[in-house]
Structure 1
Amino acid sequence: MSLTIDPSKSYFLKDGKKFFYLADTVWSVFSNATMEEWETYLDFRAAQGFNAVQISVLPIIHDRSESVLGLYPFHVQEDGSWDFSRIDEPFFERAEKMTAMARDKGFLPVLVVLWGDYAPGNWMSRITEGRYVMPHEHLTPYVEFVSRTFGKYEPMYFVSGDTNFETDGADDYYVEALHALKRLEPNALAAMHCGGSVVDLTGRLEADPTLDFYAYQSSHSIDSQHETYAMALKLNDKPIKRPVMNVEPCYEGHGYGGKYGRYDAFMIRRAFWTSVLSGAATGFGYGAHGVWSWHRRGQAFNNEGYSMMPYDWRTSLRFEGARDAAFGKWLFERCDLFGWEPAQALLAIEEPEIRVAASPDRAGVAIYAPYARTLPLVLGEERYEWEAFDLRTRYPLVPSVRAVGTETVLALPEANADVLYIGKRVNR
């Protein structure tokens, strides 16, 4: 699988053809899943249409489900700490086999090199009081070992994991890791996985020519769900243009960030379409609460107060939102939305939750409405043919369209659900 970036810097190409990235999030699979479980999982997600898996090479510490396997990437010392000078070869031999399995079944492996727990100067290493910060002298040798182990499978890399770079020098480890990785794999695509709802890169990272695309997390807090589109717009408007992806929206089944409720399939659909129609049109990283941490019923989980208890991975694997995300990928490809740009000015009302995109020549228009309503559009004298989809049922709709003065109005749909509209300009 040869993955490159198209000349417009808007999307990926796989072997020269347009490629929409649809990943599932399995951060903890190397340390928590059995080989048999991994094969079952891969077959299930492949059948749904996923084409990438997002994995943290090192276990996430501050936010994890207990593992029954007792696997660690480094030798464990008598006091329980890790000896970062002694890599545990069996752990990585097993992780390599899992990566090979994923690749053989058609998945792009996407590996986080250094989650925030392992680098100084960020919020996660403060939570763990620096106990898991990798000593600097072991950083480059570790990155080189990761490249030697996994590079043959042509992975994509997130060099950082859930990091905000909010303190001076917080990017030091990541700049060094990025450059070490690129010396060995100059053609591998790499980004920083930025976390939370105050997401941004440092100026040094943003200007770095070895950074290939922008990747963001749009927050797991219910009060920050507008970040799905706000961050897409922000990153799409950077002086250095790169492909943009929301690689970690709200997880389906996850708690509302310390508040009442859990995210459902509707919120996944909303995150998908508000992201991709707002400039994050390169792909999407779905997650299910229980799959990402590879949770087993009865296991301990150390972040219940914020996230709520995960479901058993076998239960969350079958959440309906995964099928909605896969349907979104199918629609995106079917309608050839590659290279379309945010076009909010075509909407005659100011409702930011309704997102609009259009092809650069305005020959095509896409509108996502998270709730049913009449939609007045400013399309001038151009005529469009319209189709629509009830995204809750995945059924097609026939929209009713009328002209009102200088506006085109899409009537209230016959569906009490979120709807995607696609308009194609009629040649005169």
Structure 2
Amino acid sequence: MNNITVASDKRHFKKGKSDFFYLADTCWSAFTNITLEEWEEYLIYRKMQGFNVIQINTLAQWDASKTKLNIFPFNKNEDGTNNFYSLNQEYFDRAEKMLDMAVCYGFTPALVLLWCNYVPDTWAAKFDSSNILPLDMIEKYVEYVGKKFSKFNPIYIVSGDTDFPGEKTKEYYKVALDTIKRVAPECIRTMHIRGRLMDLPKEFEESESIDFYMYQSGHNSIHKDMTYLLAQNFYKKKVKKPIVNSEPCYEQMGYSRQMYGRFTQFDVRKALWQSLLSGASSGITYGAHGIWSWHRNEGGFASSIGEGFDKPYYWRDALKFKGAWDYSFAKWLFDNYDLCAIEPLEGCIDKSEEIRIAGKSDLSIVLIYIPVNTTVVINKEFNDYEFEIIDLSNRYFGKPQVEIKDGKTVIGMHSFDEDALVIIKEKTI
């Protein structure tokens, strides 16, 4: 079983000797909410779609949908509260079995060690401080997880949805990071941070113990430009690392802050391509509203917790959302066109930042994402190139109208209803 590693260019991943495009599904609540029969059904379907990573919270997800499984990571005190010094062996044995099943189906687990509600002073701890873990048990807990799960060669996500308001918060994550590196040095590590957060604290951003950057463009309806702004921001960091948008808007999730409206298939596809073509080209994470929380209609959903999203869909309905196919199609393109190390090409298009362009360093292949139909002018002549255009909503392939003159390449308006991807490929002799 090959570990995932960082390639020598520090921009993409390898698995063994092959490039590895990180295509994750968000299933934060797997260990507490999913029966083994449901888990296998889920794995079979996502494998068929081409997903290769599953992001899971190792501890209980604080805003998951309600469940009747009644299995949690800590044993209880006599008064019913969690005994944070007593890990529930049954819970972790069950999680181990689920990970074994996932790996057998070809998935790499990406395991969050400390979601932010377990850590003091974070934004989530201010909502509910009842689950703050004692600092003196963090090493014991992380060591236990590392020894039990590292045989599956997971990616370890040290933090979950976190901000870093003070030294106490950073101390927790530093203990967790140092411990997992000691116990599982062969597994790569990262940190999942709060939506729209532009920076990690310097001691994590520049640390050799953090192998790649994760950012979260999030679920806020008025900040949709974070998909590309955050990608650009992390791409320009002094310390070069692969970049993944680990939590773009989830399909059919209600807008955060209980605002009316839901993210559509188009919204999540736009987040996908704007991320990949703006510097975060090593992979992408998909989310379906009903899968991440593993929702059952009879189970209920506490919309007042966290960011206050509208009710999720039943998990079997959410599993079949069509946007997941858009993400697997992106993986197919990246694998077949060898695009894992493409770089954003800034200043090539003047019309709108919404239109994203990226290419290989030698410009042998260039991609342009056009979310809304318009004529696109590129400040470069692409002579001796072939042009294809893909209707992303239907995955139709066609030939765009192209005119090259006066140092520019002009791509005419296409006839598709929604967004399109243009592939510009150097002709071969």
| TM-score (normalizing by structure 1) | 0.97
Report what 1:355 is aligned to: 356
Q: Deviations over 1:202-235 (max 9, x none)?
A: 0111121111000111111011111111111111
* C-alpha RMSD of the superposition: 1.4
CA shift for structure 1 position 381: 6.4
User: 1:175 Cα shift?
Assistant: 1.1
Quote the residue 1:301 is aligned against.
301
Unaligned runs of 5+ in 1: none
Rounded to whole Å, the distance in 2 between the matches of 1:404 and 1:299 is 62
The secondary structure found in structure 1 opposite 2:209 is: coil
The separation in 2 between residues aligned to 1:420 and 1:333, in whole angstroms, is: 16
* Paired residues of 1:164 and 1:200 also in contact (CA < 8 A): no
Determine helix, strand or coil for the equivalent of 1:303. Answer: coil
Counterpart for residue 87 of structure 2: 87
Is 2:417 the counterpart of 1:416? yes
Residue number in structure 2 paired with 1:396: 397
Corresponding pairs, count: 425
SS of the equivalent of 1:126 reads coil
Cα drift, residue 427 of structure 1: 6.3
- Whole-Å separation in 2 of the counterparts to 1:353 and 1:168: 37
Percent identity, aligned pairs only, is 41
Q: How many Å apart are 1:78 and its aligned residue?
A: 3.5
> For residues 158 and 198 of structure 2, what CA distance do their matches in structure 1 show?
15
Asked if the contact 1:64–1:303 (Cα under 8 Å) also holds between the matched residues in 2, the reply is no
* 1:16-415 correspondence runs (5 A): 16-61=17-62, 63-128=63-128, 130-257=129-256, 258-303=258-303, 306-347=308-349, 349-380=350-381, 382-415=383-416
Out of 296-305 and 21-30, give the one that drifted further: 296-305
Structure 2: 5+ residue stretches without partners: none
* Displacement after TM superposition at 1:404 (Å): 4.2
1:57 and 1:196 mapped to 2: Cα distance?
A: 20
Judging changes above 3 Å, is the alpha-carbon distance between structure 1 residues 379 and 151 closer, same or farther for their aligned structure 2 residues? Answer: same
By how many angstroms is 1:76 displaced?
A: 1.8
Whole-angstrom distance in 2 between the partners of 1:287 and 1:79: 37
Verify the 8 A CA contact 2:146 2:184 in the aligned structure 1: yes
Distance 1:79 1:254 in 2: 36
Q: CA deviation at 1:7?
A: 0.4
**1:336-391 deviation line (CA, Å, top 9, x unaligned):** 212111103221x2301110102112222110011111111111464421111100
Displacement, 1:169?
3.5
| CA shift for structure 1 position 293 | 0.6
CA–CA distance in structure 2, aligned partners of residues 166 and 337 of structure 1:
37
Give 4+ residue runs of structure 1 displaced > 4 Å after superposition.
none
Letter in 2 for 1:246: N
Give the stretch that moved more between structures: 338-347 or 38-47: 338-347
Aligned mates of 1:409, 1:345 — CA distance in 2: 15
Residues 427 and 152 (structure 1), Cα distance of their counterparts in 2 relative to 1, 3 Å cut: closer
Q: Which amino acid aligns with 1:33?
A: I
How many Å separate the matches in 1 of 2:255 and 2:228? 18
> Structure 2: which amino acid aligns with 1:122?
T
Greater alpha carbon shift after TM alignment, 38-47 vs 63-72: 63-72
Structure 1 residue 117: Cα displacement: 0.9
Deviations 1:297-335 (A, max 9, x none): 122211267210001101100000001111111112222
> Which one-letter code corresponds to 1:16 in the other structure?
K
TM-score, normalised to structure 2's length?
A: 0.96
Could you tell which deviates more after superposition, 302-311 or 235-244? 302-311
- CA distance in 2 between counterparts of 1:65 and 1:76 reads 21
